[in-house]
């Protein structure tokens, strides 16, 4: 470090001390500024990309899948319910009205 750089550092330290800024407050200020900048950059990246369309596509795909599955389950349940309650009996009679059972 040359003489000019040392002089500049001393001058900056003196100015910071007069303003009441020490190492810890300077560190906190830098953190706040960095968080704000990162937040701005993230918002800008989201705004520049087509996030809304991607989300809408995913929702539509999943919604269609959910509706199909729910429809299939409901139809399956109703059809099985009908057949489970059904009793089928067969009575075969001949021309004279007599029951005919052949084994």
Question: Exposed/middle/buried for 16, CB within 10 Å: 0-12, 13-18, 19+?
Answer: middle
Report pLDDT digits (tens) over 46-103.
777 777 788 888 888 888 889 888 988 888 888 887 777 777 777 777 788 777 665 4
Q: Please, are residues 10 and 3 in contact by the beta-carbon 8 Å criterion?
A: no
DSSP code of 97? S
Q: What is the DSSP letter of 95?
A: T
Reported as a single tens digit per residue, the pLDDT across 4-13 is: 888 988 888 8
| Residue with token string 């968080």 | 35
Beta strands in the chain (DSSP E): none
pLDDT for position 38? 92
Mean pLDDT of 39-44: 88
């Amino acid at each position: 470090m040359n003489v000019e750089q040392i002089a500049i550092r001393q001058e900056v330290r003196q100015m910071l001390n007069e303003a009441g800024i020490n190492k810890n407050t300077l560190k906190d200020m830098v953190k706040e500024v960095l968080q704000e900048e990162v937040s701005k950059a993230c918002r800008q990246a989201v705004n520049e990309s087509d996030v809304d369309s991607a989300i809408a596509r995913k929702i539509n795909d999943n919604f269609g899948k959910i509706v199909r599955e729910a429809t299939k389950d409901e139809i399956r349940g109703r059809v099985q319910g009908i057949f489970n309650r059904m009793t089928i009996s067969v009575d075969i009679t001949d021309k004279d009205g007599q029951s005919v059972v052949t084994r």
